[in-house]
Structure 1
Amino acid sequence: MSPSQTPLTPLSVPPSNATVKISIIDSAGRLGRVPSKLFFEPHIEGFEYWTAPSYSFLIEHGSSGDKLLFDLGIRKDLENLPPVIQKLVEGWELSSHKNVSDVLVENGVDLRDIKTIIWSHRHFDHTGDPSVFPFSTDLVVGPGLKKIVGEGYPIDEESICSTSAWEGRNFIELDFETDRRVTSIGRWKAIDWFEDGSFYLLHSIGHTMDHLSGFARTKLAAQSITGTDEFILMGGDVAHHGGEFRPNRFLPIPTEISPDPRLPPYCGGFCLGAYYAQRNMRHNGDDCWNTPFLKSAKPFLDDEEKAEWSLDVIGEFDVHDNVFVIFAHDNTLLNVVDLYPKEATEWKEKGWKREGRWRFLEDLKGHN
């Protein structure tokens, strides 16, 4: 049977009466036929390849109306990716029919109204093509990125980023030591972007050392069905799959999993937790129920130890019912959430977290 869970770790989010609106953008960019062994351990029969979207997020500040983008997904002109990236992804099936900018324009957004683009980190499936935005749009990145990517391609033929991303625009590298807006959310350092508690950037290091996550207050307690403020955590690549941070000591596999992840979204039903616990190849006994199925594989990690630490931290966020964790490549949410131009503010009322929490398990069932 499922072991009991550990008491929740408080996130200690500073109080605020300010919120932002969040929309989840799917520009139809896809990572396809990606060998799972490059990202996940151990090998699980039937999960040899991995397919995923690459979400971006439109963030609209409640009081000022400022519009930000968190990540840009995969650029549509794949032939213009730096050569080092094109070589890296040989054999993968990449597709991207639109830039995030195209999706915005199609929905009546003037790109001049996008004040800031924030990269979660330097990898191509998040950086998109900032050059299509006007020079008035700032580009914000995490600590150390400039040193890592250098002058950019084509000045540096080995760079993974294109110089055109920042040419002619304000290019801001955050400093979580000296910025006056620095605080902490959970165990991560945070920058209070608007200085009103509505939106934070978290230094969620490990996958890369420049990695940022976004933490948005989407609803105040007075308007929430739970009587608490509600938040969305945009996790970038802290995780690539739900099995990297679920189950955990705060959230064991329940004895009965409902809704049943083997059924289409919103079909209800339940399955026995033991069906999946016995497939947790990393562990035995109670650990099968309360330790993640997967760990991050080394090829795409800057720091393996810090990556594992950040996965532990994101599990502490995820277990709180008023926090909805969305990482950039969560394929299981495509049929669960509303996508842009619809908003994500009502995620709690619409049951997205409950519906999506255990859907990752279907990737890991193996062959019977």
Structure 2
Amino acid sequence: MVTAEKFDIPPGNVARVRIIDTTTSIKTLETHHVMGPPMPGMYVMPDILAWSFLVESTNGRKALFDLGVPPNFEDFSPAVTRFLKTDAWGWQISSQKHVADILKNEGVNPASITDIVWSHWHWDHIGDPSTFPLHAQLVVGPGFKDEFLPGYPARQDSPVRESDFKGRQLREITFQESQGALQIGQFRAFDLFSDGSFYLLDTPGHATGHLAGLARTTADTFIMMGGDLCHHSVRPSRYKTLPAEVHLDAFRHFQGGFCPGSVFEALQEKRGRGLDQPFFEPTFGADIPLAMETITQVQVPDANDNVLFIYAHDKNIQGIVDMFPADVNDWQTKGWREKMYWRFLEDFKEAVEG
């Protein structure tokens, strides 16, 4: 195992961070549609949830990073609705609430939101921005405007609607603006709040304009919001190889109450994966080699103990991380990273038993 490179982040203010369960549920998605090689016993993805992150600066800015699926998802642009009805291979998709309503139910006025950030334009991340007042700007990644404007109905085949941004500022982060643009580790970055509390990172490959978020939770700890740069995990890596013993609930019936790491190493080898490679590579995306390059880059912050990496559909945080309206700034002192870091291995229970 190689010692992880230090992930140097400039000093700045602390943001308040809260994680919202968007009530999104996507079931019966066959694994090969999004990643491979096949894992025995895991031919269908575990139920897919979706998180939204509420990030608040001391300067009054409040951002939402992703919005999940709205409850009226059939009102997407026709191109998206057609896909969900005819081409989504029988996926079971549901959502009970708009994020705006979840905020209101807990006493947070949607009118207080100043920024809505889309990690990318896919339907399970964009929610319905029209449920927020027009003063909230919609923030997207590089290349978005050229590829997707105008939205539906002006452009019939667009996957986004004009109502998503009509009347509000649509801000495309190019990472070339002189003010706020910088480099963090291997990532082009942009200081969204201009106070060092919340950065947007250029994480290309999965989709045009894909962004990650990096919020400062204490002076020297951070939460990284991965969007869809991965769909399962970025581990193991050359910085974080598999542990010698895996102590998880799914493996308590093993002799000694744990599963030897060598069992998972054998799974990797049988599937043609290196011991320092993630279990999966993406099979779906705009540029698969570039998506893999991004995953490799993300392995650096993921291996740093002061960074908590959470991707958009990361079910491993469920039951460990406190949900909205609680904040998650004290994640390190509560030991959440250690509890969830290898938890994804439970999804391989059938493969291990086989």
Output the TM-score relative to the length of structure 1: 0.89
- Once residues 75 and 263 of structure 1 are traced to their aligned partners in structure 2, the CA distance between those partners, rounded to angstroms, is 38
For 1:341, give the aligned amino acid. Answer: P
Aligned Cα root-mean-square deviation (Å): 1.8
1:37 counterpart SS class: helix
Task: Kindly state the Cα deviation for residue 356 of structure 1 after the two structures are TM-superposed.
Answer: 0.6
Query: What secondary structure is seen at the aligned counterpart in 2 of 1:105?
Result: helix
- Specify whether residues 323 and 316 from structure 1 end up closer, same or farther in structure 2 by C-alpha distance, changes over 3 A only: same
Q: Which amino acid in 2 is paired with 1:146?
A: K
Query: Which whole-Å CA distance do the structure 2 matches of 1:318 and 1:145 have between them?
Result: 27
The answer on 1:278 being equivalent to 2:266 is: yes
Give the residue type in structure 1 aligned to 2:50. S
Residue of structure 1 equivalent to 2:128: 129
248, 253, 266: which one aligns with 2:242: 253
Q: Say whether the 8 Å CA contact 2:64–2:116 is kept in structure 1.
A: yes
Q: Alpha-carbon deviations, 1:152-203, whole Å to 9, x = none?
A: 1222221111111001111111111234211111101001122222111101
Residue number among 82, 91, 98 corresponding to 1:87 in the alignment: 82
Q: CA deviation at 1:65?
A: 2.8
Inter-partner Cα distance in structure 2 for 1:258 and 1:10: 28
Judge conservation of contact 1:260–1:271 (CA < 8 Å) in 2: no
In 1: Cα distance, 2:250 partner to 2:4 partner? 25
- Kept in 2, the 8 Å contact 1:279–1:364? The answer is no
What's the % identity of the aligned pairs? Answer: 37
**Amino acid aligned to 2:232:** H
Q: Aligned pair 1:359/2:343, yes or no?
A: yes
Q: How far has the Cα of 1:38 moved from its partner?
A: 0.8
Q: Is 1:347 equivalent to 2:331 in the alignment?
A: yes
Bigger shift: residues 153-162 or 246-255 = 153-162
CA shift, 1:249, in A, is: 0.3
Shift of 1:43: 1.3
What CA deviation, in whole Å up to 9, does each residue of 1:207-229 have, x standing for no partner?
11301111011012xxxxxxxx1
Which SS does the other structure have where 2:114 is aligned? strand
Q: For 1:238 and 1:203, locate their aligned partners in 2 and report how far apart those are by CA, in whole Å.
A: 11
In 2, the alpha carbon distance for the partners of 1:335 and 1:155 equals 44
Matched ranges for 1:1-368 at <5 A:
5-16=1-12, 18-50=13-45, 51-61=47-57, 63-89=58-84, 90=88, 91-220=90-219, 229-242=220-233, 245-259=234-248, 262=251, 270-280=258-268, 281-283=270-272, 287-288=274-275, 290-297=276-283, 300-365=284-349, 366=351, 368=354
Structure 2 residues not aligned, in runs of 5+? none
Q: How far apart in 1 are the matches of 2:226 and 2:173?
A: 17
- Asked if the contact 2:248/2:346 (under 8 Å) is kept, the reply is no
Asked whether the equivalents of residues 179 and 191 of structure 1 are also in contact (C-alpha less than 8 Å), the reply is no
Q: CA deviation at 1:263?
A: 5.8
Instruction: Note the alpha carbon deviations across 1:20-74, whole angstroms, 9 max, x for none.
Output: 010010021111111111111111221111121111000011x213211111111
For residue 53 of structure 1, give the secondary structure of its aligned residue in structure 2. coil
> Post-superposition shift, 1:332?
1.9
Q: Distance in 2 between matches of 1:352 and 1:270?
A: 20
Structure 1 moving runs of 4+ over 3 Å = 258-264, 281-284
Superposed displacement of residue 335, structure 1: 1.6
What residue is the counterpart of 1:225 in the other structure? none
Instruction: Report the AA paired with residue 249 of structure 1.
Output: R
Aligned residues: 344
Q: Is the Cα–Cα contact under 8 Å of residues 251 and 257 in structure 2 kept in the other structure?
A: no
How far has the Cα of 1:232 moved from its partner?
Answer: 0.3
User: Does the 8 A contact of 2:19 with 2:328 survive in 1?
Assistant: yes
Displacement, 1:261?
A: 5.3
Secondary structure of 1:57's aligned partner: strand
- TM-score (norm. length: structure 2): 0.93
Q: Conserved in 1, the CA contact under 8 Å of 2:206 and 2:285?
A: yes
Q: Distance in 1 between matches of 2:249 and 2:8?
A: 33
